[in-house]
Amino acid sequence: MVAKPSWPVLQIGSSGSNVIAFQYLMNANGVIYPINGFFSSEMDSLVKELQEKVGVPQTGKTDEAFFKKILEFTRAVKKPPVSLFTKAAQQLLNKFDAKLDVDGKFGPDTADALAVFQLRMGLNISGVVEYLTWQYLFGYGSYPADAVLPPPPSTKVYALVEQLNSSLTTSQVNANAEWIYNFFTNTQNCSGRGACAILGNMQMESQLNPGMWEIMSDAEAGYGVVQFTPASRFLDWASSQGILKPPVDYTLPTAANNLAVKNPEELLSAEMNYLMKDLASPEIFCPPQNNVPFPELNIQTFNGFKRSDGTVAQLTEVFLTYYERPKDSDASLQYRINFATAWAKYFNVNAG
């Protein structure tokens, strides 16, 4: 980890990006001041007002205790509506060449810039702007010499470290879908219909984001494109294969987050290989004990699934009931079928 910086002392006469970001935080805490990047005597009076409001000494200057108080409600800054806290984070990320629009929207560019910043500073890639990340954002003006080199941009597979909702763009989702479709049809001899059925289920589970967490960095919750649950099943296997190599004091979820940023294709490949391990097991991919869907297809194993001449809709339901088995299977089925049918159209597959 890059050395922890001191919190900046902002006071009358200070100017620049840190002041702009701090002005956003003031406004977010109900003390309104124009966003102009200059710490004036008028701003000094309002800072003292805010200090009184949050219960710290009224010095008119920023320090660690003051920052801690005004950031208490920002530890989960992640995909809110247009947010002044997000604007502050975007302003600070731009000190590190993020080139973000300071619009307060936590979209894919902001998520990616945050992940790269956390990676390069040696922080836990959490997908959120929490207290320690704020300290590094405010404390440094640019990347120090010992910062980790940035990862090369991916052109085949995309991943963002996120919880529940994905910020991947349509083109990024399509790129991931093409990689997964080719994996199943070219290396696993799966029919196009079967591959589209799997994609429909994956889109419902993760929006095809390999870095997706059900609960951020929680190894007991779901993770990945199919939401392996608990995530520890996949994480432990990936560690045993030497794919995840957490540094000292890092957890396996952190190692997975690092890989999502550094090499999303390696992460997706690992997830697909572990998925195939699951699908090959008759204890994991198997018909339900009751109400077997489409018994006329006579699907007992994944080998039978990938060779089946069932329709895309039928195979989507089979994959759902044989493998995914979510609590809301009835409620989500039609969405999964709609996604799978759309992928069939995208890949010019006869949906049947």
Each residue of 68-125: pLDDT tens digit?
A: 999 886 544 555 556 899 999 999 999 999 999 999 988 878 888 998 899 899 888 8
Give the pair of three-digit tokens for residue 38: 């200059």
- Please check whether residue 7 lies inside any domain of the structure: no
Give the pair of three-digit tokens for residue 7: 């919190």
Judgement on whether residues 132 and 167 belong to the same structural domain of the protein: no
- Please check whether residue 90 lies inside any domain of the structure: yes
Q: Residue 76 has what pLDDT?
A: 46
| Residue closest to 23 by CA, chosen among 57, 2, 47, 54 | 47
Among all chains, which residue has been given the structure tokens 């003031």? 26
Give the pair of three-digit tokens for residue 297: 């297809």
What total number of domains does the chain contain?
Answer: 2
- In terms of residue numbers, what domain contains 181? 162-346
Q: Residue 82 has what pLDDT?
A: 66
Supply φ then ψ for residue 70, to 5 degrees: -80, -10
Judgement on whether residues 308 and 249 belong to the same structural domain of the protein: yes
Judgement on whether residues 88 and 197 belong to the same structural domain of the protein: no
Q: Residue 153 has what pLDDT?
A: 65
- Please check whether residue 151 lies inside any domain of the structure: no
Give the pair of three-digit tokens for residue 54: 């949050």
- Please check whether residue 332 lies inside any domain of the structure: yes
- Please check whether residue 207 lies inside any domain of the structure: yes
Among all chains, which residue has been given the structure tokens 């999303």? 264
pTM of the predicted model as reported, rounded to 2 decimal places: 0.79
CATH number for position 307: 1.10.530.10
Supply φ then ψ for residue 163, to 5 degrees: -120, 120
Judgement on whether residues 281 and 320 belong to the same structural domain of the protein: yes
- Please check whether residue 342 lies inside any domain of the structure: yes
pLDDT digits (tens, 9 = 90+) for 129-181: 889 999 999 999 999 999 988 777 667 999 998 888 887 889 999 999 999 99
Judgement on whether residues 117 and 210 belong to the same structural domain of the protein: no
Domain boundary pick from 139, 171, 195? 139
Judgement on whether residues 96 and 169 belong to the same structural domain of the protein: no
pLDDT digits (tens, 9 = 90+) for 228-270: 999 999 999 999 999 998 665 578 998 999 899 889 999 999 9
- Please check whether residue 27 lies inside any domain of the structure: yes
